[in-house]
Amino acid sequence: MRSKYYPFLRLIGIAAITTVLLYYALVYVHNGTIWLFNRGVLAELAFAFFFLLALFWSHTLISKFFTSSSLANLPRTFKAILEGVTVILTSVLICYLLYYLPYVYIYELANVQLDLLPTRVRLAYVISSIASLFFYYFVERERNIKQLQAEHLRAEQLQKENFRAQLESLKNQVNPHFLFNSLNVLGSLIYKNQDQAVQFLGQLSEVYRTLLDSGQQQLVPLQKELELANAYIYLMKTRFGDNVQFEVEVPQDKLQLQLPPTSVQLLIENAIKHNGSTSKKPLVVKIYTSGNKLVVENNLQPRLSEVTSTGLGLQNISNRYKYMSDEQVEINQNDSAFTVKLPLLSTDEV
């Protein structure tokens, strides 16, 4: 997973490379050669590096501020002028604090008389402002625009995956076979146990309602996802009895972590679809946590008859994680068990 310090390290790298290239370009213009290096050059390189690092960092903050929703209502022309003025004033301030003041201070410590011409100081401010505008609009602003475009594309792709997951779940639930079986169970319960029939109908309605609502959400808390899973588990236990068993053990401190909606329900459905079960050899589906991952595991009991599978369910879940996080879904299968580990995400990881 990409480190949270990566943007700052990237900024340091860009500042270092830019410092060396610009400095030795000026050295070549003045001296006709780039073969120059001594303690004085090292000091000037250090000043230039910290100046550019602070400048680029300020550009990042300014760009984020002016592309934020808080300034969305400002007139476009006024916003553009204000943005440019902010870049210029920031560069002048940084130039004064990190270049001019340290430069004068070092000469004072060395007891060297320094006569800086006002013209040279003003020229330094003008050049730094122009350079700052150049780097801001042609580097940072373009990078920020591309990043926003990538985020919009990522959001659209994620929305498509959510709708695809919703459609896939609904297709399976509205599947005539599933609906026929559910109505058969409901019909038999009406005669045997009307209270249980009402509860079964309520859980069936809960499954459909949650699936319909989840299409607009990229992530849901684990607690809400387990509510859907438990409703679906109730339907399956009513239908299959002791042939299918469920073990759900999730600690309270994990319930507010998030994951893509319908993920757990899809995995339970996948386990029942591909495995046979009897009272003597029940299918056991376990749901538990391991670190910051939710584990859905079932014993392997492949059906004797071939089951048609598109593989869209697992692929859909994996794709949604790719759009939202660097964390990846882990899928493992051995001779006895099929296991899927879903990363549980906090809001600052997304």
User: pLDDT digits over 313-332, tens only?
Assistant: 788 788 888 877 888 899 99
For the cut 50, the answer to whether the pLDDT of residue 20 exceeds it is yes
One domain, residues 134 and 271: no
Same domain, 189 and 335: yes
Helix (H, G, I), strand (E, B) or coil at 285: strand
Tell which wins on pLDDT, 169 or 45: 45
On whether both 309 and 262 belong to a single domain, the answer is yes
Is position 109 within any domain?
yes
**Sequence letter at residue 161:** E
Q: Of 153, 184, 203, which closes a domain? A: 153
Instruction: Among 92, 119, 153, identify where a domain stops.
Output: 153
pLDDT of residue 348: 61
pLDDT band at 64 (very low <50, low <70, confident <90, very high): confident
Task: Let me know whether 195 and 290 are in one domain.
Answer: yes
User: What pLDDT does residue 246 have?
Assistant: 95
Q: Is the pLDDT of residue 349 over 60?
A: no
State residue 316's pLDDT score: 79
Mean pLDDT, the chain, integer: 80
Predicted local distance difference test score (pLDDT) of residue 74 = 83
Please indicate, yes or no, if residue 275 is contained in any of the structural domains: yes
Looking only at the bridges linking them, the beta strands covering 293-299 and 330-333 are: unpaired
pLDDT of res. 167: 53
Q: 185 vs 321, which has greater pLDDT?
A: 321
Residue 37 in any domain: the answer is yes
> Are 143 and 285 found together in one domain?
no
Structural domains counted in the chain: 2
Judgement on whether residues 186 and 292 belong to the same structural domain of the protein: yes
158 in a domain, yes or no?
A: no
CATH at residue 251: 3.30.565.10
DSSP per residue over 67-136, as a string?
TSGGGTTS-HHHHHHHHHHHHHHHHHHHHIIIIIHHHHHHHHHTT------HHHHHHHHHHHHHHHHHHI
Contact 18, 52 (CB under 8 A): yes
What's the whole-number mean pLDDT along residues 244-272? 91
Higher local confidence (pLDDT), 277 or 160: 277
> What is residue 252's predicted lDDT score, i.e. its pLDDT?
93
Assess if residue 286 is contained within a domain.
yes
Q: Which domain holds residue 192?
A: 175-349
**Residues 228 and 333 both lie in one domain:** yes
Same domain, 252 and 332: yes
Q: Name the residue with higher pLDDT: 217 or 263.
A: 263
**Is the residue at 257 inside a domain?**
yes
Q: Is pLDDT of 174 > 50?
A: no
Q: 135 with 213, same domain?
A: no
In terms of domains, do 148 and 183 share one? no
The residue-averaged pLDDT of 220-230 equals 90
Say how far apart CA 197 and CA 189 lie, in whole Å: 5
Res 114 pLDDT > 60:
no
Supply the pLDDT for residue 1: 44
Q: Which residue has the higher pLDDT, 174 or 262?
A: 262
Lowest mean pLDDT among 3-17, 264-278, 320-334: 3-17
